[in-house]
Structure 1
């Protein structure tokens, strides 16, 4: 599990700026300053200054209706982060080895209480089309997210969902932690995402920086074989510089 981070002097302006940036990235439609402030639980005047700054440097863009959306700089930054390190190109071959099971193959990373999928390939889908094709997804609703949440400390999870609803867990944190502890004990997540469809996922790295998954019709009898294959690929990806 993730170690508790050492106390450091934090730059609150940077934290608020990144939170604003993330909320813009989450929004499918342009959003106004006051609405964004409500979502972030921040003062509208502060959010307005942050948005104007992000607009000035091209990370955000102001629309004719005085709302904000992602700017060209955000897309460039996203592409740079994905491809400049070379990680995105190096993970494809190991993930391709899992295509033999004729299931969805996915790799995702945790960002707060959501998962961002770098790779999500349906059976027979070309690898190029599998890269970055999905947006953010609630971590508590999927196998990748639950596998990664299980790597966090109880305190971190509690802070993450403090005074927030938890997708898929109507009774809240205690119900979520039952599932989290089960995943910690078995070493993988096995989540029913819809009728007759499951996601089986394992975390990659110590500490974990991503998780890989297979999704589709996965009977319990297939779990040992699939978990072994996932762990084998996880070891390969963990050795890739990232």
Structure 2
């Protein structure tokens, strides 16, 4: 969490939240539904959407629902081009592939994890940039790793008591061991994650790992750390 000494501009915050929520939606969203999702008055959201339409960030379809407009694609391209993290990570991960497991890079967005890169073995590398789904932070190994870098009071504010209790044990594990781990339905299939970039609060993970013993776990961690170090230039 970032603390600020000055009062933040709520109008800008609300506009960005509306734009991010709309961009993350797999389907067009009406004004009232968007207002419900972001918990803002309909009149406020309507005014924001009209401004975003004027800028070309959103457009309306024939049903008067909203979806990303042409200007948001320009913003997306500019963001990737200007991202030091993405410019370092993309060529390294592309050279690392193909492998028989998943490689992911993710960041926190509220109580969700947004995957900047999600490279599946069965997909081309270009598709790894299109798998930008939002996942509940408590259900994501990358999410647990990122939460482990926050203070408990910050996590409580973000998740509430019940959801924090669900992830407290794996968060403590990540703090002690320096990596997060999740065992899936198959006891031999696991995901491991480590911090990638503290400044951008990003983490990297390998998943669909078939780990049978501690030696294989150590080997997988070694591969993950080596991949991380290549990205950050160590």
Task: Report the TM-score when normalising by structure 2.
Answer: 0.86
Native 8 Å contact 2:145 2:194 kept in 1:
yes
Asked whether 1:217 is paired with 2:209, we answer: yes
Native 8 Å contact 1:141 1:193 kept in 2:
no
Q: Which structure 2 residues correspond to residues 83-162 of structure 1 after superposition, within 5 A?
A: 83-85=81-83, 87-96=85-94, 98-99=96-97, 102-123=100-121, 125-162=123-160
Native 8 Å contact 2:112 2:136 kept in 1:
yes
Native 8 Å contact 1:116 1:134 kept in 2:
yes
Q: Which structure 2 residues correspond to residues 1-242 of structure 1 after superposition, within 5 A?
A: 5-85=3-83, 87-96=85-94, 98-99=96-97, 102-123=100-121, 125-162=123-160, 171-196=162-187, 197-207=189-199, 209-219=201-211, 220-221=213-214, 222-239=216-233
Native 8 Å contact 2:35 2:41 kept in 1:
yes
By relative contact order (CA 8 Å, sep 6+), the higher-ranking structure is: 1
User: How far apart are 1:92 and its partner, in Å?
Assistant: 2.9
In structure 1, stretches of 5+ residues that fail to align are: 164-170
Task: Report the TM-score when normalising by structure 1.
Answer: 0.83
Aligned length: 231
User: How far apart are 1:49 and its partner, in Å?
Assistant: 0.5
**Could you give the per-residue CA deviations for residues 27-80 of structure 1, whole angstroms, max 9, x where no partner exists?**
221212122112222111111101111111111112222221211222221122
How far, CA to CA, are the matches of 1:49 and 1:205 in structure 2? 37
In structure 2, stretches of 5+ residues that fail to align are: none
User: How far apart are 1:177 and its partner, in Å?
Assistant: 2.0
Q: 1:200 to 1:36 in 2, by over 3 A?
A: same
Q: 1:194 to 1:62 in 2, by over 3 A?
A: farther
Native 8 Å contact 2:104 2:206 kept in 1:
yes
More helix by share: 2
User: How far apart are 1:26 and its partner, in Å?
Assistant: 2.4
**Could you give the per-residue CA deviations for residues 75-120 of structure 1, whole angstroms, max 9, x where no partner exists?**
2211221124464343234324654763111212222222222222
